[in-house]
Chains A and B, each alone.
Chain A
Amino acid sequence: MNIYAIRVIYKYEMLRFRNTLMQSFASPVISTALYFVVFGSAIGSRIETINGVSYGTFIVPGLMMLTLLTQSISNASFGIFFPKFTGTIYEVMSAPISFFEILIGYVGAAATKSMIIGLVILGTAGFFVPLNIAHPVWMMGFLILTCISFSLFGFIIGLWATNFEKLQLIPMLVITPLVFLGGSFYTIDMLPPAWQTVTLFNPVVYLISGFRWSFFEVSDVSVALSLFMVLVFLILCLVVVWWMFKTGYRLKR
């Protein structure tokens, strides 16, 4: 195990984060605040409580997920895409380091970043609405698993992307709609029955449902199913990454 290598990659990525600190924190914090003003106060005041939870509080887990997913993907994809783009990746590839170690460095850093941002948002939310987390350990568990899985997913996108456009494509076209339609702002049973069925094919639904359960003990699907789906996604990503590394996909010529 090349511990020093993992350490420098992780440190380097975290440093990159530090250099864009304002941007990294400010944008999620501001957008969260806006969501609360619009949905929590303006619209939320006209919506009755959902399963005994006020609307403003209800959307907190969904908002966190929205940010966690987009941040994990963009951090991780950019982290590996950029050295590929500038050519500095040559050094990592000529170093005595295994693909698994590269992965720990890059994905670990991306996951750490989005976790920090997630917690910052939770803090921001605390300013606007009363928050009571029923199962903090589960909450952290879902948080960590989500960050790791989607950072892995972002890493895959970063490896796959051959230009900036492709890098933005998946998050824009796939992730954002999935999150918005994944029950961030509503419960599934508010939808017409046909749409309820369709929604069950959206993996993000399981994430948000499980995450919300850890806050309020209310959920659309069972927690076990949520956890299972997150793990399936994680394993799926791992398999894809393993295959990419094994074949040197888009890295080695």
Chain B
Amino acid sequence: MSAIVSISNLSKTYADGHQALKNISLDIEYGEIIALLGPNGAGKTTLISTICGIVNASSGTVTVDGYDIVEDYRVTRSLIGLVPQELTLGSFDTVTETLCFSRGLFGKKPAPALIEQLLKDLSLWNKKDNELMSLSGGMKRRVLIGKALVHEPRVLFLDEPTAGVDVELRKDMWALVRRLRESGVTIVLTTHYIEEAEEIADRVGVINNGELLLVDDKQALMQKLGKKQMVVELKDAISEIPHVLSEWVLELSTDGQQLTYTYDPRNLHTGIASLLRAISDAGLLLKDIQTTQSSLEDIFVDLVKKKI
């Protein structure tokens, strides 16, 4: 069994009748960083909240390390750390107090040395005795991360960790995430930003409207991202691609006026020049040429649109 979190046929309908999750199945593998990408209201938070025990699923099952989240909630919840989307923190407790509270809540005995190390890692050591309400937003975000990590979870859920976070802190955060991954922690994060998913994740899942549209290796997505397309518009429509052009992988549009050539711009020989020469040799007249790069954004928009 290679999945640390295994979600199968998970659905959630809220009390008001809104279906926020539609039959989601997903295996999250040990030690990976997976990014869940999706627009506002896609269901990302609902999915995470269900796994963590904050929202009751309407149907379907989730196991964490082989344990069911309902039957064996004590086991699964101690394996999980959650950084919520909202900055929900008490006001009057100090940074150290709130970390001790979190650790206790998860049934672990006090560990001052561990907390000291964690606060240093999060650059919060000099704030350890400050009251939470006196912290800036970015610091609060780090306190929340600390609270999620203080019981030494095996899976960390980060719900939009970079909302309201400056470039510097974001860099630190990704460094921390990578360090955690090296120590064997599996990381699930949600984001609206494709670049963010690209930058940090091993795999990317796209959620929209409660549906998981796709889960793929970032590499595979990058491959698609790496592709460019050249569209050649012809003056006169043709019924089929001339035989002399079979050397290139071409697609003919239904109206017969567009030839689309997909190529990898990173190749030394893209074949564009020779293709163009061959087209004119074949006696076809060019009307226009354009090239497009299919970005992850395109793929995403495409997927989202298709489902609406």
Contact = CB atoms under 8 A, between A and B. Distances in A.
30 contacts: A3-B107, A4-B106, A4-B108, A8-B101, A15-B93, A16-B92, A86-B88, A86-B90, A87-B88, A88-B90, A90-B84, A90-B88, A93-B52, A93-B53, A93-B54, A94-B77, A94-B80, A95-B105, A95-B106, A95-B107, A96-B73, A96-B78, A96-B106, A248-B56, A252-B54, A252-B55, A253-B14, A253-B15, A253-B49, A253-B54
Interface in A113-159: none
B109 interface: yes
Interface in A1-22: 2-5, 7-9, 12, 15-16, 19
B102 A91 contact: yes
Contacts of A97: 105, 107
A16 B101 CA distance: 13
A95 B54 CA distance: 10
A169 interface: no
B86 interface: yes
Interface of A: 2-5, 7-9, 12, 15-16, 19, 86-88, 90-98, 248, 252-253
Contacts of A15: 93, 97
B88 A7 contact: no
B39 to A, nearest CB: 21
Contacts of B106: 4-5, 95-96
Chain B interface residue bracket vs A: 35 or more
Contacts of A12: 93, 101
A88 B144 CA distance: 11
A98 B78 CA distance: 13
Contacts of B88: 86-88, 90
A15 B131 CA distance: 14
Contacts of B52: 93-94
B77 A96 contact: yes
A87 B54 CA distance: 11
A164 to B, nearest CB: 16
B88 to A, nearest CB: 4
Nearest to A82: B90
A4 B14 CA distance: 33
Interface in B75-101: 75-78, 80, 82, 84, 86, 88-90, 92-93, 97, 100-101
A8 B54 contact: no
B104 A94 contact: no
Given A4-B109, A5-B105, A96 B82 contact: no
Contacts of B77: 94-96
B147 interface: yes
Contact of B104 (A5, A87, A90, A252): A5
A15 B90 CA distance: 13
A8 B100 contact: yes
Interface in B36-78: 49, 52-56, 73-78
